[in-house]
Structure 1
Amino acid sequence: MQKFVSACMLLLLVAFNVQSADEISEEYAYYGFEPEIVTNYISNRKKLGFVRISVELMVKNPADLVSIERHDPLLRAAIVEILGNQAEDKVKSLSGRDEIRRECYEMVNRLLEKETGRSLVVNLLFTKYLYD
């Protein structure tokens, strides 16, 4: 009887793990802008300030990468415009960087929704963020 109970528990655990693995196995993909984005920002000094970033767009469905690649110039231009309109203090602070990232994420999804009819990007990441 004890072996039967153990076997049933083992089958339940295996069934539970298979179901959990299926739920977790969402396939994410990333699209990176090449080359890196380099632009100026509004500087408080007499010297011109610049920011250089690497941006990765995270999508749930790898098939969406084709649409994102097709609209790369539009998305890149929007990110450059957002960065170019930022004040030096915002560019150089951690909280400001996160606000800029969020603004870029929202703009990218708005543009993709206009172009493709749906928001494709799950997350936008700055994998490199350098400024002067």
Structure 2
Amino acid sequence: MLKSLVLRVFALGLLVICSNAAVAQDKSNFAYLSLEPEIVTNYISDSAQKLGYVRVSVELMINDVSQLEIAEHHLPLLRSTAIEIFGQQPAEKVKSLTGREDIRRSILKALQEHMLQETGGEVVKNVIFTKYLYQGG
């Protein structure tokens, strides 16, 4: 009797775990899109006599695989927006970890706003820097 009860509880637990995994799998249907080639642009340096530049590889997390084609269609707009935002950053922001996170959030917000205007949906869920190099300034 106790053995039967333990087996039933175990089977019920497995059923719950499997159903939760299936629900999680259904919800996470993200796609990734790379802004190729890498972004290489100048940023505002502390000294007017020195140029600073940043070289960044950017990956975009797209809300759904079905929106990947839409994001690819708007890739020039997305890339231009990221380049523009990097070009407006001061050296201290580019060089610090907290500044880098602020830049990432600014890019994400701008991309979502542009996609909302163009498509009626945010499309971009997240922005990920996979390489981040800076020099000068």
TM-score (norm 2): 0.91
Query: CA separation in 2, counterparts of 1:93 and 1:2?
Result: 61
CA shift, 1:9, in A, is 0.8
- Superposed, 1:33-48 pairs within 5 Å as 33-45=35-47, 46-48=49-51
* Residue correspondences, number: 132
CA shift, 1:11, in A, is 1.9
Moved over 4 A (4+): none
- Say which of 34, 38, 41 aligns to 1:32: 34
1:123 maps to 126
RMSD across aligned positions (CA): 1.1
* Paired letter, 1:123: N
Query: CA separation in 2, counterparts of 1:6 and 1:90?
Result: 58
CA shift, 1:6, in A, is 2.0
- Superposed, 1:10-21 pairs within 5 Å as 10-21=10-21
Query: CA separation in 2, counterparts of 1:7 and 1:60?
Result: 40
CA shift, 1:33, in A, is 0.7
* Paired letter, 1:44: D
Specify the SS of the correspondent of 1:58. strand
* Paired letter, 1:27: N
Does residue 49 in structure 1 map to residue 55 in structure 2?
Answer: no
- Superposed, 1:84-123 pairs within 5 Å as 84-123=87-126
Unmatched tracts of structure 2, length 5 or more: none
TM-score (norm 1): 0.94
1:64 maps to 67
CA shift, 1:10, in A, is 2.1
Query: CA separation in 1, counterparts of 2:120 and 2:15?
Result: 38
Percentage of identical aligned residues: 44
